[in-house]
Structure 1
């Protein structure tokens, strides 16, 4: 399927509409200038343009957004080329889970730095990165699902954006978890049920991820992995899939002059 068509179909899904509606419930009615950091297909930038006078849609490759109030730029959130307090709103969703761990703190510092007041973050909530793993055919190493290399709780986000105040937060969607034994068996099978349809290549060598062939042993081990996962699903039940947090940068009042 063509990538643009695949993205359009994703945006139509009930789960995606629920997630985006929840995200925009947190976004202030604005005016001013907004930054969509990690704009991807530009869908959110277009929606932000209904609320803000100008929107900067930024990604590692400049997005293509045909809208008079949207400016498309190439950039890296770990080193943003903007002065402090440049944007009335900074929105960053579906991004931080992809940032390498050694650059994550720098990315969060930069996002907070360029926000004048409001910063909205969207990340998967406590994602079990063992579920949906892939195995690279080229280097043989395991990859986390969808190229997600970080898992987040509210406490972790508070630590990463420690200088900002949490205005509000919400949880939306559903996920399930696995367990160590089920993950080990699925890995032994070569992770045939992993997220091989993702855009991201192998996080280790960059190669395109290709689903392994379904051999008899692969099918047997994959089926055993699913069976071993079921007790965890039954015990824990569905868990929230996404976390959205509205951070606020509070201004320090100037000290009274000494008399």
Structure 2
């Protein structure tokens, strides 16, 4: 399930791409499939072990184009172990809402990106996130949880103050917002509630099968209740 639109963030052979806060590696895997060199970066060393295993499995299955490379690096988004201007592209998907000093993280993204390079920054959308916070305090107070709710204007203003040129944006995962509202309404940690389980099964079916009906529904819902907003920015040349 990708949040970033790779039509707006083109990657390919010869590009070095940082997936910052990569989590399970969903965007890193897609970058590798497209032939770019990817660095999956996260502070969770255990999760990165799974990402590295998947990289190896992709190589074994012949899914990795010639010359493309992949590596995992453990570290802190506020002090990344990379030289200035190390990457052609940076992806930071659902990361900044977890970081108290978000502008320090933005400055690090700016630092490691090459002049003229592009970044895709995704955060939870304001309305769906605000509803989740209102329904269940545990949703955002758990350790490592979300520490802020962004408006698109605030996100853009902070990135612009960091030095980025602001580009286009879009929303994603409109079908996922109701799932999280249900989860928060019944208790975010209540994975056994029948309604939450049924909706989760629907989402898994949609991800696996991608039927036309749900694709059309999500396209209509995204501008209104898309769970994520994606902003594309450029470091001036």
TM-score interval w.r.t. the shorter chain?
Answer: 0.5 to 0.7
Greater Rg by CA: 1
- Residues paired across the two proteins, number: 175
TM-score by length of 1: 0.59
Q: Which residue of 1 aligns with 2:64?
A: none
2-structure distance, mates of 1:146, 1:133? 16
Spell out the pairing of 1:14-33 with structure 2 (5 A cutoff).
17=1, 20=2, 23-30=5-12, 31-33=14-16
Check if 1:241 corresponds to 2:224: no
Q: CA deviation at 1:78?
A: 1.1
Q: Which has the higher contact order (CA 8 A, sep 6+)?
A: 2
Change (3 A) 1:105 1:53: same
Measured against aligned partners, the alpha-carbon deviations of 1:104-140 in whole angstroms (never above 9, x if no partner) come to: 110111112111111111111112052342459xxxx
Higher helix proportion: 2
Structure 2, unaligned runs of 5 or more: 60-68, 179-183, 192-223
Change (3 A) 1:194 1:239: same
Q: Which residue of 2 aligns with 1:115?
A: 113
Runs of 4+, deviation exceeding 4 Å: none
2-structure distance, mates of 1:161, 1:109? 9
Structure 1, unaligned runs of 5 or more: 1-16, 137-141, 177-190, 199-237, 252-259
Change (3 A) 1:52 1:150: farther
Q: Which residue of 2 aligns with 1:58?
A: 41
Q: Which residue of 1 aligns with 2:186?
A: 193
2-structure distance, mates of 1:22, 1:73? 21
